[in-house]
Amino acid sequence: MSQPKKQLIINAFAMQAPGHLNPGLFKYPADKGSKYNDIKYWMALAQKLEAAKFHAIFFADVLGGYDVYKGPANLEPTIPGATQFPINDPLYSIPAMAAATSSIGFGVTASTTYESPYMLARKFSTVDQLSNGRVAWNIVTSYLDSAARNFGLDTQIEHDERYRIAHEYLEVTYKLWEGSWRDDAVTAAPKGSYADPKGVRQINHKGKHFTVPGPHICEPSPQRTPFLFQAGTSSAGKKFAATHAEAIFLNGHTAELVRPSVDSIRAQAKDFGRDPQSIKIVAGLLVIVAETDEKAAEKFELLASYGDREGALALFGGWSGYDLGKYDDDQDFRFLDTAPPAVRSMVNHWASNSPQGTKWNKKTIAEHLILGGNGAKLIGSPKTVADELERWVEVADVDGFNFSYASVPETFEDIIEHLLPELRRRGLFWDDYAVPGGTLRENYLGVKGNTRLSDTHPGAKYFWKAGEEIPAYAKESVNGTLQ
């Protein structure tokens, strides 16, 4: 008998901005990206995606403008194409979307570099309560100097140091979410008391970067710790992911290039005592699908014709930190000795997967990034795209995909109309949520009752279970005193 096929996780990748990985596309007549500040738009999108059984809407977020290109600190190339600017905070819209739906999850990006853990823990507990346990935190350490400057720094905190801070940050949030309120502090409160005062305790965290006495100001939410997503692929990023993430978001040009990252994360997770296959890995892709390969290619060309090239180069500047504005239009970066090695290596990487003879100058780079950013693009009929997705799962060992859009909601509507039926026909995508009305963690992991962190997750160390006088972690004394 043949093995049952791996069921795919499918997310919609979005941003609360008129443009995400599609600078300029707000000008395309069908695009509704400019409605990002209308709550009814988000509620309707959530309902549409839930009807199609998407696992989650996953919101990227940034805290500054892409101002490196033709910079420094220049947003002129960024603003005309609405290149991730302006951008609203995604968290506020989640309760409204949750009220309009019952099973779809909501991933929200938030940075460990610019907000205190006490504040973030409160916000996520609030939204986890109001969404009935359907929120995920995409933990990022951020990458834009423009954000750093707006938070009062001259430049960003050094890369690996940001991850060291993030480790301690997570420890603080675990203590607040898992170890500050006993599981039954509210449900088994003494008569006449809202909660059991003996079931709420200080966390007294005193670390290198944070001092947080607690207690957590919110009562326990369904998931306690929101489902934890992570995106970041440096060595420090992979170690962080293998330690903390329950799901990981990777970008990659080809399945072959993504595989080593997947292997490395799963191997490290195993070393940390976690089940490597329990970590869900999703790849970011742009899918343009239509009845036939020809129609899909025509659609892609049409969409790309609305793209804003300057915006694409601004994205490149923000992501890489390098300003291509300094170079001539037709200079090929593969052979340019004066270009930073990181730029040459990035461009060589793309060139190795594109037709021979392509010149890699600013125009090609802009066209390469204009739709779908730095993720792979699959353009074709339902069969072509589904074949390629199957190949990704096999070659890259990923568990699913974050589908970005060229035009919203059209790209998702095309996926719903053309691709999902083909995936279902092949037994690759569910007909309904594993746990309708359940929490995000239950639906992501496909197991009813899996609402809390698993026992092998580092956050589980901080659980304060019913019946325990104090949580087990707090019994470990520091300097002879209880923590």
Ligand X SMILES: Cc1cc2nc3c(=O)[nH]c(=O)nc-3n(C[C@H](O)[C@H](O)[C@H](O)COP(=O)(O)O)c2cc1C
Q: How far is CA 346 from CA 340, 343, 367, 412, in A?
A: 10, 5, 15, 29
Which residue reads 């021979």 in tokens?
356
Task: Tell me which long-range contacts 145-151 makes (C-beta under 8 A, separation of at least 24).
Answer: 145/64, 145/68, 145/321, 146/64, 146/65, 146/66, 146/67, 146/73, 146/318, 147/62, 147/63, 147/64, 147/111, 147/113, 147/114, 148/64, 148/113, 149/64, 149/73, 150/63, 150/64, 151/63, 151/113, 151/114
Q: How many residues bind ligand X (CB under 6 A)?
A: 19
Q: Does residue 142 interact with ligand X by CB under 6 A?
A: yes
DSSP 181: B
Shortest CB 131 distance to ligand X, Å: 20
Q: Does residue 141 interact with ligand X by CB under 6 A?
A: yes
Q: How far is CA 1 from CA 390, 428, 429, in A?
A: 19, 17, 20
Q: Please pick, from the candidates 98, 231, 313, 385, the single residue that binds ligand X as defined by CB under 6 A.
A: 231
Q: Does residue 148 interact with ligand X by CB under 6 A?
A: no
Question: Which of the stretches 226-234, 349-357, 421-429, 471-479 binds ligand X when contact is defined by CB under 6 A?
Answer: 226-234
Q: Does residue 109 interact with ligand X by CB under 6 A?
A: yes
Q: Does residue 140 interact with ligand X by CB under 6 A?
A: yes
**Between 334 and 353, how does the x/- string for binding to ligand X read (CB under 6 A)?**
--------------------
Q: Does residue 68 interact with ligand X by CB under 6 A?
A: no
**Between 32 and 61, how does the x/- string for binding to ligand X read (CB under 6 A)?**
----------------------------xx
Q: In this structure, are residues 76 and 32 in contact, taking their beta carbons and an 8 Å threshold?
A: no
Shortest CB 54 distance to ligand X, Å: 18
Helices (H) then strands (E): counts for the chain: 16, 11
Q: Does residue 399 interact with ligand X by CB under 6 A?
A: no
Which helix (DSSP H) or strand (DSSP E) does residue 282 occupy? strand 280-289
Task: Tell me which residues in 243-282 interact with ligand X (CB under 6 A).
Answer: 249-251
Q: Does residue 284 interact with ligand X by CB under 6 A?
A: yes
Q: Does residue 439 interact with ligand X by CB under 6 A?
A: no
Q: Does residue 227 interact with ligand X by CB under 6 A?
A: no
Judged by beta carbon, residue 376 or residue 435, the one nearer ligand X is 376
Neighbours of 348 (CB within 10 A): 13
**Residues interacting with ligand X, by CB under 6 A?**
60-62, 109, 111, 140-143, 231-234, 236-237, 249-251, 284
